[in-house]
Homo-oligomer: A and B are copies of this chain.
Amino acid sequence: VRRHRIAVIAGDGIGKEVVPEGLRVLEAVSRRYGFGLEYDHFDFASCEYYLRHGAMMPADWKQQIGSHDAIFFGAVGWPETVPDHISLWGSLIQFRREFDQYVNLRPVKLMPGVPSPLAGRKPGDIDFYVVRENTEGEYSSIGGRMFPGTDREIVMQETVMTRVGIDRVLKYAFELAQRREKKHLTSATKSNGISITMPYWDERVEAMAPQYADVRWDKYHIDILTAHFVQHPDWFDVVVASNLFGDILSDLGPACTGTIGIAPAANINPERVFPSLFEPVHGSAPDIAGKWIANPVGQIWSAALMLDHLGEREAAAAIVSAIERVLAEPALRTRDLGGPAGTIACGQAIADAV
């Protein structure tokens, strides 16, 4: 039988509550579809680890998880004890960068039972992907501060975009669009305001488009694009964006479909040289951590993206369909969706449904 080795990192806060539900559903689906999953659990990439060791991860973290087939990740961050830019840059951002997970793929889909804040939209109306560049761009580590503590204080941070970095994520996005029914790619830009890097981004899109003649493409400046997400979410099929713009669009998109509480994300190294990482879009949610009321759907949907990446297509589809059936049941929804179910009850229901 096929076997996949998974590195499991629950992280902080509700990460520790929703990851077990993801595993529960993975167990159910692997039995049903006849493949094996082996798990190794790691306690690093958490703020608790940081407080004990003074670093978010051990020096040999790459060796410890670098040969796994995938990383199943919960959430990281506990701002009360560790500032976000330390906890995130010391873990999640490291994974993305060191494992060259240069595609961040996030489905935006209006699901049954999840009321959209947008008037008159129903399941089927909103169904697209955000493809986010995940290693460079605005998230650079180059920059610094001068004249600290004085009135002349100044901080600078460099946005860095490379031809290699842009072209490979555009290629992924064009190919994804090619495989979809609408074959429509939208590029997020801001070349009218961010006048050096973003015109270059546009240039690369234009240079690449002729190779994908069957894909219809357009571009919008990020300001009006966020407006279109709210006013015309049905316009979109595949949206490709820089690191920062993709970050924004992949929270805004799920918000338009009712909640970021159920949205999943795949951090992909398409060449499979390194393991890819699968995580919910939501964070560690300190405000509800420990209450076992967190919605596990984002984590479980991430498991589906992981199986898809590992080639277990049918099993992945079975999870998504199970999620849809469970969300359609008011009694099985968690509190954030107006239901009575706790984290475990909701996870168990999805496991039963697969």
Contacts and interface: CB of A to CB of B under 8 A. Distances in A.
Interface in A81-98: 83-85, 88-89, 93
Count of chain copies: 2
A247 B223 contact: yes
Contacts of A151: 163-164
For chain A, the bracket of interface size reads: 35 or more
Contacts of A192: 77, 84-85, 88
Contacts of A226: 226, 248, 251-252, 255
A193 interface: yes
Contacts of A222: 247-248
Interface string A256-267: 100010000000
Interface stretch (A137-145, A324-332, A337-345): A137-145
A195 interface: yes
Contacts of A223: 247-248, 250-252
Interface of A: 77, 83-85, 88-89, 93, 115-120, 138-139, 141, 143-145, 150-164, 190-197, 199-200, 222-224, 226-228, 230-231, 243-244, 247-248, 250-252, 254-256, 260
Given A151-B163, A156-B158, A85 B244 contact: no
B160 A159 contact: no
A178 to B, nearest CB: 24
Contacts of A200: 145, 155
Given A155-B196, A192-B84, A260 B145 contact: no
